[in-house]
Amino acid sequence: MNSHYRVVVVGGGVVGASVLYHLAKMGWSDVCLVERAVLTAGSSWHAAGGIHALNADPNIAALQAYTIDLLPKIEEESGQNIGLRMTGGLTMAGTPERWEWLQSAYRTFQSIGIDDCRLVTPKEAGELNPIMSTDGFLGGMWADREGYLDTTGTVHAYAGAAKKNGAKVLEHTRVLELHQLSDGWKVVTDKGGITCEHVVNAGGLWAKQVGRMAGIELPVSPLKHHYLISDTIPALEDLDFEVPMTVDLEGFTYLRQDQKGVLLGIYEVDHEHWAMDGAPWDYGMELFQEDPDRIEKELTLGFERYPALQDVGVKTWVNGAFTFSPDGNPLVGPVPGKPGYWCACAVMAGFLQGGGVGKSLAEWIIEGEPEADCYGMDVARYGTFAENKQYIRETTGQFYSRRFVMTYPNEQLPAGRPLKMAPAYSDMTAAGARWGCSWDLEVPLYFAPEGFAETPSLKRSNAFDFVAAECKAVREAVGLLDISGFSRFEVTGPNAETWLNKIFATKLPKPGRARLAVMLGHDGRLKGDLTLFNWGDGTWWIMGSYYLRRWHARWFDDHMIDGVSLRDLGEDTVGFSLSGPKSRAVIENLTDGPIGELPFMGCGDFDIGMIRCKVGRLSVAGELGYEIHCRMGDHITLRNTLLKAGASEDIKEYGFNALLSLRMEKSFGIWSAEFTQGYTPGMTGMDRWIDWSKTDFIGRDAALSERDGDGPTQTLVTLEIAAKDADASGFEPVWAGDKRVGFVTSGDYGHTVGKSLAMALVDKEHTAIGTELTVHVVGVARKAKVIASSPYDPDGKAMRG
């Protein structure tokens, strides 16, 4: 065993082996994998080994597609048989709502380039899987690239291919301690110490302990999962093909062929956690006793769906543990505050996602940025609130039990909340606020009368009219919005301006002004659409999306320089915004300062009633507006003060659902929709905010290359859609005839203009105003056309008035 490697990967499951392979394949051969027992010990050896295309997050689905493409190459490179059987796959729907969702999902896959799917009738599905009863099914989706593999062979293939590229694999070597050094890490094992620049936690069932060795509390927990393998089924002996991977969404089961029997897996509603502090160190190749009583309901549904199972016995039961995160997606990437420590944990579908995880993490370590937009699995998407054991128990359990349960875009799930609430939460609840969750914080979605219950739907919500009324109030009078759900970072110090000029591609605002601030990655892709305030006293604020607090803070810290102090104000500062033509009248009644003279995008300190506040004159709603920031303890009084002063101006509280409609009418993009780290400034129109005269901002060379080259192939446009009872929401395909030319980034109904609107990334030759296109909305083709940006108040007179 060498005493030094560039990277040490801790954990010999499929994810650790994939990370090792990708590092070595990309040229870093001075890397090793350390496994306390043997490769596959933990979850990998007993995994069902299914591979399929479906994932609710299109970016994760794309990584799964990469993994599927990679598997035959790994087999060839290593010379290790992985038992890959591409049987194709069926996903079946048995309710109108699920069938509607499946048709919509089919179009989403088209948007991200997965073209080997098609919708099938129950009759066709029965022909594809003859041992399946199609009773109750309304339809299904077929995918060519689905099947299964030999899990042990696949792990050894990744490891074998890695070793052929120079990597080392150390089995029977247990990690005892991790120590952070000035230039890396020391990995203490039972065979001696290893120093390294980077350490990767791919610990699987032991990820919790490997995190704690570095002072990190990861939001992961193992849960038990059942599957059975049947005895030989006579009907399969007569077939000249293997039955496909089949998922029965209403039955909570998945099935694949296993020799001449089948493997039937169950995601039971009655979930069971295990070893929440991490698996025992001597656990590895064991299984739990099967518990058919706990899975009786789902088991019965499975045997009814596949009647042939009723006539044969069970050859093998598998009840093993897998590690889950709160949302079921992996935890990958650099851990904030721990340079050189990387996560590759909670990859519940390791054989399906392991290739994509390994590729992305290797790129991240070597090149500083992954090629794919990995936010959906970034470890920084959670804060310290997710370290709480009860939170982990509730959220991981909820995900597991809902693995095959349909979740609607307007559905609010209860696990792990309410957790953090703004001080005026109770008062807003009494006023009818209905709540969503951003990170750990409850945020108002809309206001409704007592007794109203929103119906989960893919189509327009039954809260539609309440949102319409809120939009009307903002456009015609004045609306009050709780903006506690914005992030705020304070920047001070003698080198603050120098640092901000490096971090942001935008020209910095002058004292007493604010400006939209574009942040780029080293590769020139977007890293943030933020708002920068220069308060004029040497203090700056960076404002953005609340749920990105830790993600942005990691970027800021990674690029920090001496002479700069950065403070996250998220636990100290909250506020409200006033928006609408009467907002100036409301705020002028509350201060004797010159707030009425504050120019558009101006900012300053003002007394609002009895409260000293920081105020900026801007509004995401596209109206005359003010963002008013106060101390946490002043939140209740500020709300009461503004409501009282606005009573004569017909003030009305509103929520973020209305704000979505209002900003869509202005063609204002938002992060995670129009702006992501997968898109460039030229694609999204954010290049107009870049100060090209600056010479040293991060990403400048790449941004210049895009500007001075051929430019992007797709650009952002606004669409008017001839929708009826549903609006686009994101990732719907856009067509010109029968050619797919783009996809929707977000959409909503514009209550002021009375039109269904969307923003979309579309091939440049189809972006001219008036171009007629088609968009699938909830699976149904709707006519659409490109319209000019900002269908409401295109000249911006309202917000500048």
Could you give the number of structural domains in the chain? 2
* Tokens at 762, concatenated: 């579309």
In a domain, 133, yes or no: yes
Number of residues that this document lists for the chain: 801
Q: What is the CATH number of the domain that holds 726?
A: 2.40.30.110
In a domain, 29, yes or no: yes
Rounded to 10°, the helix 151-164/58-78 angle is 70
Q: What is the CATH number of the domain that holds 72?
A: 3.50.50.60
CA diameter of the chain: 88
In a domain, 417, yes or no: no
Locate tokens 């979740």: which residue? 407
Residues of the chain with pLDDT under 50: none
Radius of gyration of the chain (CA): 27
Kindly report each contact of residues 55-59 with a partner whose C-beta sits within 8 Å and lies 24 or more positions away, as own/partner: 56/407, 57/329, 57/376, 58/108, 58/111, 58/112, 58/731, 59/372, 59/373, 59/374, 59/375, 59/376, 59/678
Burial of 361 (0-12, 13-18, 19+ CB in 10 A): buried
The whole-angstrom separation of Cα 248 and Cα 237 is: 23
Of the candidates 640, 622, 662, 617, which has an alpha carbon nearest to the alpha carbon of residue 470? 662
In a domain, 656, yes or no: no
**DSSP 8-state class, residue 597:** G
Per-residue 3-state assignment (H helix, E strand, C coil) for 301-369: HHHHHCHHHHHCCEEEEEEEEEEECCCCCCEEEECCCCCCEEEEECCCCHHHHHHHHHHHHHHHHHHCC
The pLDDT value given to residue 58: 74
Domain boundary among the residues 367, 384, 416 is at 367
The pLDDT value given to residue 54: 67
* Tokens at 542, concatenated: 């960076």
The whole-angstrom separation of Cα 773 and Cα 783 is: 6
The boundaries of the domain holding residue 64 are 4-333+336-367
In a domain, 689, yes or no: yes
Element (H or E) spanning 100, and its range? Answer: helix 96-111
The whole-angstrom separation of Cα 667 and Cα 591 is: 33
* Tokens at 220, concatenated: 């992961």
The amino acid that residue 331 corresponds to is: L
In a domain, 481, yes or no: no
The pLDDT value given to residue 56: 64
635 in helix, strand or coil?
helix
In this predicted model, what pLDDT tens digit does every residue of 188-221 receive, in sequence order? 999 999 999 999 999 999 999 999 999 999 999 9
Of the candidates 239, 176, 234, 166, which has an alpha carbon nearest to the alpha carbon of residue 20? 166
The pLDDT value given to residue 578: 98
In this predicted model, what pLDDT tens digit does every residue of 604-626 receive, in sequence order? 999 999 999 999 999 999 999 99
The pLDDT value given to residue 572: 97
* Contact present, 262 and 230 (Cβ < 8 Å): yes
Kindly report each contact of residues 411-418 with a partner whose C-beta sits within 8 Å and lies 24 or more positions away, as own/partner: 411/456, 412/436, 412/437, 412/445, 415/326, 416/326, 416/391, 417/442, 418/442
The whole-angstrom separation of Cα 185 and Cα 633 is: 42
Strand-strand pairing, 780-787 and 714-721:
antiparallel
In a domain, 106, yes or no: yes
Peptide bond before residue 418 is cis, with ω within 30 degrees of 0 = yes
The pLDDT value given to residue 61: 81
The whole-angstrom separation of Cα 227 and Cα 459 is: 35
Instruction: Report the predicted TM-score, pTM, of the whole model to 2 decimal places.
Output: 0.96
Sign of CA dihedral 394, 397, 401, 407: positive
SS3 percent helix, strand, coil of the chain, rounded to 5, is 30, 30, 40
The residues facing 720 across adjacent strands are 757, 785
